[in-house]
Amino acid sequence: MINGWINLNKPKGFSSAYCLNVIKNKFKKIKIGHAGTLDPLAEGVLPIALGEATKTVSLIHLQLKSYLFEIKWGSETDTLDLEGKVINQNEIYPEKNQVQNILKKFIGWQMQIPPKFSAVKINGKRSYELARNNLEFEMEERKVLIKNIRLLKHESNKSLFYIKCGTGTYIRSLARDIARSLDGFSHVTQLIRTRYGSFRIKNSNSLEKLIEKESTDHFLKYVLDIQSALIHIPSIKLKDERINLIKNGMKVSLVNEFGKVSLDNIYTEALDKPLALGYLKSGFFYPKRVFN
């Protein structure tokens, strides 16, 4: 059993699911999952959870992501990227200072409408399935967080941006909204995720590197421990009888360590390995996911 995380640099042109299947087919006994799906045209950091690390995927979504993205001005596609067909166009190409000034409007909590070509579920079906079948439907607004956005490079018909944002933020929708705020149109031509929580692109590994050899030992040298993805979650190391109680799914008192506080997320450790994910209520730890 392999337990931990792989920091994959997803290549452009392949779906996140395809990359997972390549690794799974190479090492068939590995339980596998991932955090933060990237579109096929996007590239960059895709955290891959292996074995017991799959139990922590939901907590990774609490962390911020960073992207570099390029947009082309003057036309909007139905997919809001290079894959789609042009549905709106004009000849509005904003000046650099206009773009910089409008970005201030998009920092902080925002209401955003996801692209119709996305994995959002509408009455149990993915919205991209409905869109491909030319069915009429409306996308609901959702609240997203944009911590920072900067214009890095600007030319007559395209611009390059850096963004740091929370989960659920669609960069394609942001590109659409920036352009429309300037009475123009745009679509994304390049999207690179440079960071997701503690996973950075400079420390990522290519798919080819991960599977270039048959041996599991070769693969293991790229596996990070489970805790590497949980640096944003409080933790405590235990060395007493509470370990066995937690293993059996029972609540234990951490009042001596934390006082009578409550926390939505916390995990316990034993022998330098994660023991259980859970929450604190009035100083008592309630395990939700126990690690094997």
* Residue positions annotated with a catalytic role: 39
What SS3 class is residue 58?
helix
The kind and range of the H/E element at 189 are: strand 186-196
The token pair at 219 is 């693969």
Give how far Cα 201 sits from Cα of 44, 48, 56, 156, 196, Å: 6, 13, 21, 29, 9
The string over 37-66, giving b where at least 16 C-beta atoms fall within 10 Å of a residue's C-beta and e elsewhere, is: ebbbbbbbbbbbbbbbbbbbbebbeebbbb
Between CA 217 and CA 25 the distance in angstroms is 16
Q: Which of 79, 110, 74 is nearest to 93 (CA)?
A: 74
Contact partners, residue 171, CB within 8 Å, separation at least 6: 67, 69, 163, 188, 191
Between CA 219 and CA 216 the distance in angstroms is 5
- Residue 189 · residue 72 · CB < 8 Å: yes
